[in-house]
């Protein structure tokens, strides 16, 4: 569902800005972004905030996109947190007694 949301957001922003090469993406350092080539610098909407500069492009985020993507990514982050917690609990439950007895290599 989150992937479809990104596709829809990209289509919506392309229509709004008239920039066909606009891309919406994600990286772990900067999170979600809207990427525009430098040739489109004069067409950047006023509500875009620059996030990152690349060799031939700029990455931005808009307030609307930030709010929507935060809502969209929240369930994914919650699932990741639950998985991490469950793996720690499983480790303690399964290996904890072995560690106490000194049975671990």
pTM of the model: 0.63
Q: Could you give the CA distance from residue 100 to residue 40 in angstroms, rounded to a whole number?
A: 63
Question: How far is Cα 35 from Cα 21, in angstroms, rounded to an integer?
Answer: 9
Q: pLDDT tens digit string along 22-35?
A: 999 888 787 789 99
pLDDT in tens, 82-94: 788 887 777 777 7
C-alpha to C-alpha distance for 104 and 55, rounded to whole angstroms: 51
62-72 pLDDT, tens per residue?
877 777 666 66
List % helix, strand, coil for the chain (3-state, nearest 5). 60, 25, 20
Q: Cβ(41)–Cβ(54) under 8 Å?
A: no
Burial class (CB in 10 A: 0-12, 13-18, 19+), 65: buried
């Amino acid at each position: 569902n989150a992937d479809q949301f990104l596709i829809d957001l990209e289509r919506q922003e392309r229509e709004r800005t008239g920039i066909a090469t606009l891309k919406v993406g994600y990286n772990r350092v900067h999170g979600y972004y809207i990427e525009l080539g430098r040739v489109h610098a004069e067409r950047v909407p006023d509500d875009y905030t620059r996030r990152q500069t690349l060799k031939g492009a700029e990455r931005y985020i808009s307030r609307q996109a930030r709010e929507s993507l935060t809502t969209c990514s929240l369930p994914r982050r919650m699932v990741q947190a639950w998985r991490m917690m469950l793996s720690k609990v499983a480790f303690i439950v399964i290996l904890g007694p072995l560690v106490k007895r000194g049975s671990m290599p």
